[in-house]
Structure 1
Amino acid sequence: MITSPPSAEALQRFPALARHSRTATRLHPRPADVTMHDSHVGGPLLWPADEPWPTCGDKREVEDQVPLPDDLVERMRAAAASRRAGQPVDDGPALDRDLRRAVGGGYTGWIETADGRTVGQRTLWRRHQPRNPLLPVAQLRAADVPDLPRPKGVDLLQVLWCPAQHKGPPWGPVVRLRWRRQADVIDPLTVQPVSEVDHPRYALRTCRLSPERVVEHAPLAELPPRLRQEVESWNANYDALAVAPGWKAGGYTTWPTTGFRPTPCSTCAGRTRLALVIATSECGGGWSSGDREPDEPTGVLIGHYGAMRIFVCVRCPGTPFIEDIQ
């Protein structure tokens, strides 16, 4: 069964939209126990015991605390008292300069710790030592997710990432994809490596999937100019009706931050296809959220309450992919 979108009324008004429709599979993750043989979010992967587990050695963001000299702390407290009393702080510019100098590069501010100390804060970029095993994000079986774009001969996508903020673009977790045939995994790994989690909301709750196939229509940015103008005049919120929210495979995506931009393959320069959306929230635009599904079932937070979109080229060897966070 394929579910009609909230934009069905738009299709009645503008039949030309039918030429710009696609199916997508909404994943509807729900917290539950899973096995390595299931399609899931955040659970164990069907991984060959003799295949090395991927690791990350890239620089990632680390928050550091720097003890401050007593005389500088006294000046800070005196300045704070002056501000509370409504008095000017003559030492302000010099104090800020000396504070930044004491903390060093990457200064972001200062805090009072639970034990009463005043410390400076800074952001550093450091590599994992040793390299950090990647964290399982999702495992999708083609049998469960019919709209998953995939290379010929494979029926399983595994997504892993390093749960830390890394230098971009794109800024965020380092992502790796593994494509394989389930039947080839004869001797699976039973004890999987543990990842060091720097960013708590990149650690996902284990969720079972309840896939639902839906029809989507192209967002305004991907419609022909005349049709776009007609649809936008009818309903400025059309994109929210046409494109499903939440975790999904295939279909369309919107571009709320940058506006539409092409996603050419880095190898052949051809057009890529949307493989997976990893979303903070499941709700939006009048789309059903499933059987009392929680708004944030996986616990993940992408960007500013946004989503990571993964585009793949299934034509090229190695299946190149692009990440985009909005």
Structure 2
Amino acid sequence: MNHIRTTPPRPVDVTAVFPQLAPLARPAIRLHPRPGAPSPHDSSVGGPLLWPTDEPWPHCHDESHGPVADEWHEGPIAMVPVAQLYVRDVPLLRAPGQADVLQVLWCPFEHEPDYKPPTALFWRTAAEVTDVLAAPPEPAAVEYDGYEPEPCTVAPERITEYPNPLDLDRELRQQLEGVRSWQAPGADDVCALAPNDSYGNDLSMAPGWKVGGWPPWGLTDPIARFCTVCGAGMSPLLTIASHEWDGSGHSWVPYEDQSLPLDKPDVANPPRVHISRTNNLQLYVCPESPDHPHTSLIQ
């Protein structure tokens, strides 16, 4: 990590207007990936992994990678590093045992039936890796460049999030949509003019790469995720994003980036990742055991 990013305070303290939201607050850590030259000993997006030389590199063994792909390739495909996060940098991570590094990889092709890249998670203990793989295999083909992240350093920043409007009960959602509800101390004119939009865009969930927090629903209504082994409700682990801000979310732009041309796509997407072109891929894990399979969802 060699940069700092600071999210501005929210335009209004939403819990001052709606105290019933306070118990629904969740911590999240924005990662703020920015172009850099991370090493295997750093937290990163798209950077080199602390991968032991004596451990096989993961491959996707789907029989064919297509037909939705721009390129057709038969046979295994080397998986691509997506993120490496050290617990020292991202303390929200619940590491199993003595592990202190989370590594995320994916196949650089969208797979049916959900048309998303299959992901693999690995936990390891950094001190146990003495010989690091210097030249991991590269995929023989990729569906498009958006599935090969540009190497980025990260600047983890802890924030507080509140639920997507779709995660709220009907009564509270109706209150958020009412102009009169916002005519209270602490509410500003923007909230009064477009209360529901202001809550969804500026006061609830942060856009971009993050650990924890609330799910960014939009493509679908909320979908409960349950562990296929024990049935426990699964928890959001990591949001992999196609942009850190968009035209409706400039209030989330860190102070350090506000002088940039914010509407240029590459500025808002330093890793140049595109999930199904412009969406998010959210990874969920079982809170009962890290050995249980994770799952993912595009939103």
Normalised by the size of structure 1, how large is the TM-score? 0.75
Equivalence for 1:207 = 152
The 1:240/1:149 distance shift into structure 2, 3 A limit, reads farther
**Does residue 316 in structure 1 map to residue 289 in structure 2?**
yes
Q: Which runs of 5+ in 1 are unaligned?
A: 64-122
Does the 8 Å CA contact 1:165/1:173 hold for their aligned counterparts? yes
Pair member with larger Rg = 1
Counterparts of 1:278 and 1:6 in 2: how far apart (Å)?
Answer: 23
Q: Which amino acid aligns with 2:18?
A: F
Find the aligned partners of 2:178 and 2:277 in 1 and give their Cα distance. Answer: 29
Map 1:88-103 → 2, pairs under 5 A: none
Which sections of structure 2, spanning at least 5 residues, go unmatched? 180-194, 261-266
What letter matches 1:324 in structure 2? L
How many Å apart are 1:127 and its aligned residue?
Answer: 5.8
Distance, in Å, in 1 between the alignment partners of 2:255 and 2:97 is 32
Q: Over the residues paired in the alignment, what is the CA RMSD in angstroms?
A: 2.3
Give the aligned residue type for 1:269. Answer: G
- Comparing 273-282 with 297-306, greater Cα deviation is found at 297-306
**Preserved contact between residue 8 and residue 255 of structure 2 (Cα < 8 Å):** no
Matched, 1:37 2:74: no
Partner of 2:90: 145
In the other structure, the counterpart of 1:61 is: 66
* Structure with greater proportional strand content: 1
Mapping 1:238-277, distance limit 5 Å: 238-241=199-202, 242-277=204-239
Pair 1:128 & 2:74 matched: yes
Greater Cα offset, 245-254 or 3-12: 3-12
Matched, 1:10 2:14: yes
CA distance in 2, matches of 1:5, 1:271: 31
Q: 2:134 matched to which residue of 1? A: 190
Q: CA deviation at 1:124?
A: 9.6
Q: Give the letter aligned to residue 56 of structure 2.
A: P
> Quick one: distance in 2 between partners of 1:264 and 1:2?
34
- Do the aligned partners of 1:220 and 1:232 also contact (CA within 8 Å) in 2? no
Determine if contact 1:42/1:205 at 8 Å carries over to the other structure: yes
CA distance in 2, matches of 1:33, 1:62: 34
Distance 1:214 1:283, change over 3 A: same
Q: Is the 8 A contact 2:229 2:292 kept in 1?
A: no
Deviates more, 1:227-236 or 1:200-209: 227-236
Residue in structure 1 matching 2:196, options 236, 253, 265? 236
Q: Counterpart of 1:295?
A: 268
1:176 equivalent in alignment to 2:138: no
- AA aligned to 1:204 is P
